[in-house]
Amino acid sequence: MKRIGVYIIALLISATGFGQSGKKYIREGNKNFEEEEFEESEVSYRKAINKEADHFDANFNLGDALYKQTKFDEAATKFDGLTNLVESNKDLAKAYHNLGNSFLKSQKIEQSIEAYKNSLRYYPDDQETKFNLSYAKDLLKKQQQQNQDQDQNKDQDKNKDKQEQDKEKQDQQEKDKQEQNKNDEQQDKQQKQPQRISKEDANRLLNALANDEKEIQEKVKKAKAKMQKVKTEKDW
């Protein structure tokens, strides 16, 4: 894959009011940058900015130094601010190009695409910006597809969980129903069985029946005796 490169302004553009010390710091920063001493180059560019806060070259190259140190959010802030400092189409195109790179490295793909589009508005023939824009679009498409796949997997997992929960609920309901039927059968069986009484209750019942029988026999005897007495009386 082609390297996503950043632009750096290597040659100082003359600016009124920017002294020799400021130019010196930019040259030192550029030298450090070429030697991949990015922390040192950052220091030099900041010294140049102290001489003139809105100097385009110093701020632009500082953004590059931050980018090379993987300080992508800081670099994006720097490049975004530069778009308000100049009117040159070429410089604006470079600023938006590097802004797009910073966004891309921060995984802010949609923002990087917009930055590359802005860069091409000011310099339509830049091949590297066109490549980066195409790369960012492909990356966004893959990311959207991955998100869509993840959403589908989540939906499938939710449906699977719901099916499992429904099955567990049905199983539990069936189990409860079987348990209730079992209890009902046991109750019916108990109701159909003859009720047993204790030995004491049985004895009391037998005694009561015996007493009733004795009482009945006494009544029968009295009745017979009365009948016999009536028959022996003489009828005058």
The residues spanned by each domain of the chain are 20-143
Tokens 């891309």, residue located:
104
Backbone conformation region of residue 233, classed left if phi is above 0, alpha if psi is from -120 to 50, else beta? beta
Q: How many CB atoms lie within 10 A of CB 28?
A: 17
In order, the DSSP letters of 58-106 are: HHHHHHHHHHHTT-HHHHHHHHHHHTTT---HHHHHHHHHHHHHHHHHT
The predicted pLDDT at position 171 comes to: 87
Instruction: Round to whole Å and give the CA distance between 49 and 21.
Output: 11
The predicted pLDDT at position 179 comes to: 86
The predicted pLDDT at position 10 comes to: 43
> What is residue 9's three-state secondary structure?
coil
The predicted pLDDT at position 58 comes to: 93
Domain 20-143: give its CATH architecture. Answer: Alpha Horseshoe (1.25)
Instruction: Round to whole Å and give the CA distance between 219 and 204.
Output: 23
Question: CA nearest 126: which of 7, 2, 3?
Answer: 7
Instruction: Round to whole Å and give the CA distance between 222 and 236.
Output: 26
What angle, 0 to 180 degrees and rounded to 10, lies between the N-to-C axes of helices 89-105 and 56-68? 20
The predicted pLDDT at position 12 comes to: 37
The predicted pLDDT at position 195 comes to: 61
The vertex-70 CA angle with 90 and 134, nearest 5°, equals 50
10-residue mean pLDDT series, the chain (236 residues) = 50 49 92 96 96 92 96 96 87 95 96 97 96 96 90 76 85 88 78 69 78 76 69 48
The predicted pLDDT at position 69 comes to: 97
Cα–Cα distance list, 230 to 153, 217, 219, 222, 233 (Å): 111, 20, 17, 12, 6
Instruction: Round to whole Å and give the CA distance between 61 and 141.
Output: 32
